[in-house]
Chains A and B, each alone.
Chain A
């Protein structure tokens, strides 16, 4: 590359929002102009393929899946190829511009892996904690688990993750241009957040559903019995019994009427005086209470009493707020905090949540977790984590200075000053490459922009990282 800029790779997955045919361009155009390339037929076939895949993926998401069940990825390359082929999605990668990567010739979107429900004999379902212990691959220093709440659950070790090569794209759709054009990016706007919140909700609801293996039995048993019960009841304790009047109740009622009537006749005068006293006391008391109530009501109306604002209303009011305001306003009162926590995770465009012992990273947007097995995510070696809405993976980074980072699908800054954003595990700060090397402020995090579709951002060359005034982005999509 003749440009002295940061070269960043973006892998774009089709998302429902971007289902429309995406324009493609190639060859590092300075002006960001996009040009169709590749032969038309291939393109058309590819897009149909993609659409099908997307639909299937959505199907997959809707299926009730046991929350604890992992879709275990096959160990063998061959297995995967076979299964992917079954899905009709085998793609050859020419690997142009990706020469640094070794092996596989066949590649696939990571989501496809979710469809390979290859229940291995060892343990298809286990709790997250259990699997945390289980993973200890000798091939890499540290092992990580990847949970992707949005599109199912992934359970991969670092060694396995390294084998994926994150689903390299077909060469025909390699896109490269100098600046990300505006239409590829959404600002962190509410609509986008709402769209993204969906996977999270699905994940939550999944927990309530019956386990997959038990589903058929439960359905069968419940479907047969429940409807019969009313009929059976009416059969056994039919009409006759309901018409019987309970004689005891009748007697009691008569007695009561008689006692009540006694007052008028003065026959039970002993009870009358205290009753009146009680009545008066009660009357005065209720008047006092009523007056206090009215005063309190008036005061509360005057004061607004917005403490009692329904939670959904608070939520509505708080939801346009992002960033600092949103976080700060949690300190207002308890109900505000509870109203905000549900949406807080979704509303933080790129915030990673680190557990206290730093062994778990949570990417709230897709509700993905990354769990380090050696209790320290800081030791990634020469690898870096790539986080995105669809899936998360680890890869060795050849560019010096770019390792041990968590790359987020976000850009810092606006317009032509956009820089890829990452989280540095060593310094525990959000940073971006480029002239403005300084750590990102809290506000700048929230002002970050995200590519419209599922994207991984990867720095590819060291010298471009260190001296970049003119950032280069390389988009690769399929």
Chain B
């Protein structure tokens, strides 16, 4: 009985994505994000998130829910969840990382940054440029200079794959 009354009393928050989709989550879940926490502390229950698209928000809410009821017993479960969570395309990862950055969810940020870093490890600058959709803004001379300065780093083989 006690638990049901507790759930009824739980404050709910409404998150609105950039695509105007609304999501209702428990306050205790939402406050893992610093951005939401600050708004909640200011008395808001409706949180518009103009920088977060629905696709990323759904995943992030999943993540927050999972991590909100973190105990010692479901540690393994959360680890597998996290593994699946980051097992996605680079573009999704980038979307998630910028959403997590906006929402200030540090544990998610760290995990995503670590994942991206792990995945771009051993990749050549050219491959990384393609992955990140970055145009090289170096002149050939400048690039040659950098390569020369870090000559040791450019020894050996690079991984040229894009995933």
Contact = CB atoms under 8 A, between A and B. Distances in A.
Interface of A: 303-307, 309-310, 312-313, 316-321, 323-334, 336-337, 441-442
Interface residues of B, number: 38
Contacts of B123: 325
A328 B153 contact: yes
B120 A307 contact: no
Interface of B: 90-91, 94, 97-98, 101, 109-110, 113-114, 116-118, 120-125, 128-129, 132-138, 143, 146-147, 150, 152-156, 158
Contact of A325 (B90, B120, B132, B143): B120
B76 to A, nearest CB: 23
Given A304-B94, A306-B94, A317-B97, A331 B133 contact: no
Contact of B133 (A305, A312, A324): A305
A316 B94 CA distance: 12
B128 to A, nearest CB: 5
A333 B117 contact: no
Contact of A309 (B98, B124, B129, B146): B98
B114 A306 contact: no
A320 B150 contact: no
A331 B147 contact: yes
B146 to A, nearest CB: 5
A331 B138 contact: yes
27 contacts: A304-B90, A304-B91, A304-B94, A305-B133, A306-B133, A306-B134, A307-B133, A309-B98, A319-B113, A320-B117, A324-B152, A325-B121, A326-B153, A328-B124, A328-B158, A329-B120, A331-B125, A331-B138, A331-B150, A331-B154, A332-B128, A332-B129, A332-B134, A333-B129, A333-B138, A337-B146, A442-B153
Contacts of A323: 153
A327 B98 contact: no
Contacts, number: 94
Contacts of A334: 137-138
A323 B117 CA distance: 12
B137 A333 contact: yes
B134 A307 contact: yes
A305 to B, nearest CB: 6
Contacts of A330: 146, 150
Contacts of A319: 113, 117
A327 B129 CA distance: 15
Given A330-B146, A331-B143, A304 B114 contact: no
A325 B124 CA distance: 8
Contacts of B156: 324
B57 to A, nearest CB: 16
Top-7 shortest CB links A-B: A327-B153, A320-B117, A442-B152, A327-B150, A331-B125, A306-B132, A316-B113
Given A320-B113, A331-B143, A333-B138, 15 more contacts: A307-B133, A313-B97, A313-B101, A316-B113, A317-B113, A321-B117, A324-B152, A325-B117, A331-B125, A331-B138, A331-B146, A331-B150, A332-B128, A333-B137, A334-B138
B121 A321 contact: yes
A442 B156 CA distance: 11
Contacts of B133: 303-307
B19 to A, nearest CB: 12
Given A316-B109, A317-B97, A334-B137, A329 B114 contact: no
Contact of A310 (B101, B128, B132, B153): B101
Contacts of B116: 317
Nearest to A303: B133
Contacts of B110: 316
> Which one of A316, A321, A441 has the greatest number of beta carbons of chain B within 10 Å?
A316
B103 to A, nearest CB: 13
A176 to B, nearest CB: 36
B161 to A, nearest CB: 15
Given A320-B118, A333-B134, A328 B150 contact: yes
Nearest to B91: A304
Nearest to B124: A328
Contacts of B152: 324, 327, 441-442
A227 to B, nearest CB: 31
A291 to B, nearest CB: 21
A328 B148 CA distance: 11
A318 B116 CA distance: 9
B98 A313 contact: yes
A306 B116 CA distance: 13
A326 B143 CA distance: 15
Nearest to A301: B53
